[in-house]
Amino acid sequence: MALSRPFLSTEAERLALQRARDTAQRERAAAEADREAAAARLVAAAGTLEEARRGAVEIRSAAERAAEEQQRKAEEEADATRRRARLDATRRQLERKSEQVSRETAAAAQQAAALNAQRQRAQRDVDALQGRLQEQQQRLERLRADERARRDTTPESVLWDELAGEVATEAALRSFFERRQRRDVQQPRLRIASAWKVTNGATLRGFASAGSFDISPLQAHARSGDTFLFHGCSQEAATNVMATGLLLSFAAQGMLGRGLYGAPDPRKSQQYCKSANKFMFICRYNLAGAQHAGPSTQHRNTLFDEFCVYREAQVVVLWAVKLA
């Protein structure tokens, strides 16, 4: 019996140890189960967290898209507002332009009406003026016809006296010759050795007078009237001039063109007398349409005036003189 007590004790301990082991094993199993459950819960929690994160990302993305959409709509609305403002401004500008055009159109219509009325008045005035001009032209033609008829029946001596006027006598001619030599020109003065009238019925009757006379050539030119001028030529040409008058067929090309030249001062005409015996003529010129060269013009004549006409009927020879 003394030997069984330790055995019992050991068995009891073994049983206790076994129970303890079983308990520990159960606890380990429970702990493992708890760990696995915790791991499962952790995995589940992680999945939930990932889902939450994805949800948050989706929510944020949706919010960003919503914000972008809202921003886009706001910009579109602002752009639409600006377009409406521009359209309103353009519409107002067009309205103002339309009003301005309407006013200008009305003003233009009034002006056109006034111009039309003015044109009608002017046309009536022109018609009346043309009527008066036609009457005057007819009277002028009758006067010319009467003058031609008078000249045809008037003796040559009478026609010559009418055209010679202030130089109808030799004494008047010599005085005129002296006066026409300007004293402010420092050149020798000319004298007449002899003078004789040139009476050519054809040129006397064919002279186209301007109808007015001025002893001053510059005034006669300004008024398109008649005046007296000197014409110089060679001795050979002088005979032809006395027989036929001045002819364009013998005219030279001068600074004023090809025409019939005359000068107020005989010293200018002397320049064209090329022979030893110097002859020149005193002529009556109609200066209507004549060209002028002299100190007051841009031509080379710095001392003397000179005129040129381009129709033979605008010149008639009255005197021939031989210089001393």
User: Of 90, 116, 142, which residue constitutes the final position of a domain?
Assistant: 116
Encode pLDDT of 9-56 as tens digits.
Answer: 688 888 888 888 888 888 888 888 888 887 888 888 788 888 878 888
CATH number at residue 284: 3.90.228.10
Say if 129 falls within a structural domain: no
d(Cα 324, Cα 318) in Å, to the nearest integer?
19
Average pLDDT in the chain: 89
Residues 294 and 173 in one domain: yes
> Is there a contact between 167 and 173 (Cβ–Cβ < 8 Å)?
yes
| Per-residue pLDDT, 307 | 97
Mean per-residue pLDDT for 222-234?
A: 96
| Per-residue pLDDT, 4 | 52
Nearest Cα to 206, choosing from 313, 318, 317?
A: 313
Domain total for the chain? 2
Residues 192 and 307 in one domain: yes
More confident: 75 or 164: 164
Residues 314 and 178 in one domain: yes
Sequence length of the chain is 324
**Res. 176 pLDDT band, cuts 50 70 90:** very high
Look up the domain containing 162 and give its range.
156-323
Encode pLDDT of 65-79 as tens digits.
Answer: 888 888 998 888 888
pTM recorded for the entire structure? 0.59
d(Cα 286, Cα 311) in Å, to the nearest integer?
10
195 SS3 class: strand
Residues 106 and 195 in one domain: no
Least trusted range by pLDDT, from 13-27, 105-119, 255-269? 13-27
d(Cα 55, Cα 50) in Å, to the nearest integer?
8
